[in-house]
Amino acid sequence: MFSKILIANRGEIACRIIRTAQRMGIRTVAVYSDADRHSLHVRMADEAVHIGAAPSAQSYLVAERIIEACRATGAQAVHPGFGFLSERSAFAAALEAAGVVFIGPGVKAIDSMGDKITSKLLAQKAGVSTIPGFTGVIEGPDHAVAIAREIGYPVMLKASAGGGGKGMRIVRSDAECREGFQRATNEAVAAFGDGRVFAEKFIEDPRHVEIQVLADKHGNIVYLGERECSIQRRHQKVLEEAPSPLLDEKTRRAMGEQAVALARAVDYCSAGTVEFVTDQQRNFYFLEMNTRLQVEHPVTEMITGLDLVELMIRVAAGERLPLKQKDVKLQGWALEARVYAEDPFRNFLPSTGRLTRYRPPLQTPHVRVDTGIEEGGEVSMYYDPMIAKLVTHGATRAEAIARMQDALDAYYIRGVSHNISFLNAVISHERFRDGRLSTGFIAEEYPDGFHAGDVPREDPRLLIALAATVHRRFQDRAARLSGQLQSHERRVGTDFVVIVDRVHHPVHILPLDGGFDIRVDDTEYRIVTAWHMGQPLLKAEVNGERICAQVDRVGLRYRLAHRGSQLDALVVTPTAATMERLMLAKQAPDLSKFLLSPMPGLLKRLAVKVGDEVKAGEELAIVEAMKMENSLRATDDVKIGRILANEGQSLAVDQPILAFE
């Protein structure tokens, strides 16, 4: 077994690998860029080596610096995690030449499966079901249209070297095909340095189901069940679960056996994932093979009891797999939610900055948090904005979902925007709970984006009662302050008015042992809680049911959040409430005369100039963010008055680009 390994990655996956290595008694080496100098993975490792500037192309993607770090520290092996160099065969070969073990598959497997065209041909040869399509390289827009017509619309255009949703377009007409080919090619060049694009039939109402395989160097290969990853936004996974609510045992076995056959065909060794697109009738087709550890591997670990990172390390060290296929038992259900620093109410724009408060839910045998950040840490503009992966387990799918809801309620993040309200909305959706999933779920259920009205609405009186509880605790503390004038001590009343969106809710509150009896309008609540000022989480028993809500003080108001809903409440005396009715509402500024950048990014192109008259729907500019091109279009007929930003300029969120006359 290795005595020291280097983790060629950052963030949550680096921390996750370090934890397993430490448990195995293996010393660890972290690498870091300028932006990650003070990151959690650097402090967790036994040693850390600086490898370059913040952009990944100048640090985490520079193989020579990783290898030099191995030489300098004496690391015997490298775990690449996922992303960055994890699927670069040249990196694996360079490590081998340097006498360092790559904790992953061999060069042959990476090369064979890294190219979508080659992998599809190999899958066909290995007897794996594949989607009809054109596996050659498309030569241009006209060629793309000719191929699409032959296959039959709808067609998926894909970058051959692609991944992570980049370089992919679904096209349903000749016009969409021409534009989609150009966009896919541009994104492929920007993200992978390889503009090759191929085409295949798009399966209507598809589901994304993948098989986890594990192989050693002695010819032993097993599959560890499946993961359903159909809840995606722009081809990037949001929620994953294991097992899939779609599959039966017969289909699971067939998919698993095909995945093993493909792994055997390329002499696979290590953990890997064979992804399938599946229709609603359980017909499945090979999509691609990921020759690395997957982001969503924890759900498989939760239902199998296995540590995939440990098994990868042991296999890389030459050990045999400790289990056969008959030993693989799936226990219960697991669900993973990707917690991102993004604003779901602003089209999921990435949010960067410092985590001023960060309290993940308490980890238990049924709740797991994989994170690479802590309170005071920074979400950088240079890398993926994932904060953590939240994983829950239950005996049933319903129990795993219920535990996920509770864990999301207890996940307290401040300083950056986050997607917890969106995650709560998805897992609360009737269609999700019924298991009626597809990769189009988010686009179909939230066609105009995610808005406050899409958050499942609970009875607001519950949060109003909690606001009254918080306020009463504040008032009770104020009444106990020393030095009050005798006979004029502060007395706390029993009647208040809670104002929400200028609607007045009369509240009557009476203290009881450990809590309060509260009447909101005509509804009674008994709230028992040990909450005190300063605690961000209000854990209480409300009418006998345990809940957890988040509490913030915003000016004179209390902001409460529960199950994705948020409520700002002003709690005042009846007299003050009468005065509040006379207050004027502040009007928001008119920004309709400006085109604002919806995200931090690069102004790739301006499509207009001063004086142009533009019709609604026409393109105004392209902003590149996270290597994705985002087209900004006019929502109304406008005339361009001023250009406020230049091509090639870095933009902040809400920075003006154009002014309209």
The candidate with the shortest Cα–Cα distance to 222, out of 142, 321, 313, 298, is 321
Task: Please name the residues in contact with 188: beta carbons below 8 A apart, sequence gap of 6 or more.
Answer: 159, 160, 161, 162, 166, 167, 194, 195, 196, 197
Residues with active-site annotation: 288
Q: Could you give the C-alpha distances from 373 to 11, 14, 58, in angstroms and in order?
A: 7, 11, 22
Terminal C-alpha separation, the chain:
70
For residue 452, the 8-state DSSP code is G
Looking up tokens 């899939």, which residue turns up?
244
Structure tokens, 566: 């948020």
For residues 41 and 189, what is the distance between their CA atoms, to the nearest angstrom?
31
For residues 402 and 425, what is the distance between their CA atoms, to the nearest angstrom?
13
Burial of 106 (0-12, 13-18, 19+ CB in 10 A): buried
The candidate with the shortest Cα–Cα distance to 461, out of 372, 521, 542, is 521
Q: Is 46 helix (H, G, I), strand (E, B) or coil?
A: coil
For residues 114 and 116, what is the distance between their CA atoms, to the nearest angstrom?
6
Cβ–Cβ contacts within 10 Å for residue 513, how many?
A: 5
Asked whether 472 and 538 are in contact (CB, 8 A), the reply is: no
